[in-house]
Amino acid sequence: MSIHPGDSGSGSRSSSDRGFTLIEVAFVLVIIGLLVGLGADLLPMLVKQNKFKENNALLREAKTAIVGYALATGKLPFASGNTNGTETAGRLSGYLPYAVLGINGRDAYTKNLYYAVDPYLTGTTTVDQFKTRLVELINGSHPGDLFCDSGNFKAAFVVLSSGENLRADPPNDDNGNGIVDIFDNNQFALPLAPPTGTCDDILEAVSTSYLSGRFE
């Protein structure tokens, strides 16, 4: 029997045909385990970040809708006293009156958004009257009644999500019942302040000066 060149005749396989060694298999399993572990750690963080971004987008949508309502009607809506989104006459803080605005009234955690409004901007009947009242709030001839950031931000209205913990936190909730209602004061947190260990609420607000500028 002839032996072809390169044929050792021993029946051994070439290095390209041999299987993985136990060390190589163990190494691959370690790598897979590390990747799975990293994925398990990163996934909750990514979900949390996506919820935060979604919440910000929903709040911006609500803020835009409220500004549009003011431009169209010459007034700001009252808050809603319940979660069905209807406007409750005379109510200055509570749930967002989303049915009046024609938008979704829930945040990324499916909780109803909250809303508060300066009372001087709710009783107007014309756009001109509304613009006049904005100027009076800006120049101080009429005192404002809605503030953010310990009074440093004079707000026309605020819209708020209770965040991941599903409860409104101080300074947005003052009586500890976890919601924004008529028993809380007119002081709110700084708009778009990053969540902290004591307050993970997300708040958007429109100042009186910004709203006045929208009518020019």
Tell me how far apart the 2 most distant CA atoms of the chain are, in Å.
Answer: 114
Interacting residues of 187 by C-beta distance below 8 A, sequence separation 6+: 147, 148, 150, 151, 171, 174
Burial of 36 (0-12, 13-18, 19+ CB in 10 A): exposed
- pTM passes above 0.85: no
Model confidence at 13, pLDDT cuts 50, 70, 90, reads very low
Residue 139 maps to a domain = yes
Residue 14 maps to a domain = no
Range of the domain at 82: 22-213
Task: Tell me how many domains the chain contains.
Answer: 1
Looking at the DSSP bridge assignments, the partners of residue 106 are: 112
Contact 204, 159 (CB under 8 A): yes
Per-residue pLDDT for 25 more than 90?
no
Q: CA quadruple 121, 124, 130, 133: dihedral positive or negative?
A: negative
- φ, ψ of residue 30 to 5 degrees: the values are -65, -45
Residue 145: how many CB atoms within 10 A of its CB?
A: 16
Per-residue pLDDT for 61 more than 80?
yes
**What's the one-letter identity of residue 87?**
E
pLDDT of the residue at 110: 95
Residue 8 maps to a domain = no
pLDDT of the residue at 130: 97
**DSSP secondary structure string for all residues of 37-93:** HHHHHHHHHHHHHHHHHHHHHHHHHHHHHHHHHHHHHSS-PPPBSSTT----TT--E
Residue 175 maps to a domain = yes
pLDDT of the residue at 33: 72
Residue 123 maps to a domain = yes
pLDDT of the residue at 26: 73
Residues 199-212, mean pLDDT to the nearest whole number? 96
3-class DSSP state of 94: strand
Per-residue pLDDT for 30 more than 50?
yes
Residue 84 has which token pair?
Answer: 């069905």
Tell me the per-residue pLDDT of 149-185, one tens digit each, with 9 for 90 and over: 999 999 999 999 999 999 999 999 999 999 999 999 9
Residue 50 maps to a domain = yes
- φ, ψ of residue 159 to 5 degrees: the values are -135, 140
Residue 170: how many CB atoms within 10 A of its CB?
A: 14
Tell me the per-residue pLDDT of 113-146, one tens digit each, with 9 for 90 and over: 999 999 999 999 999 999 999 999 999 999 999 9
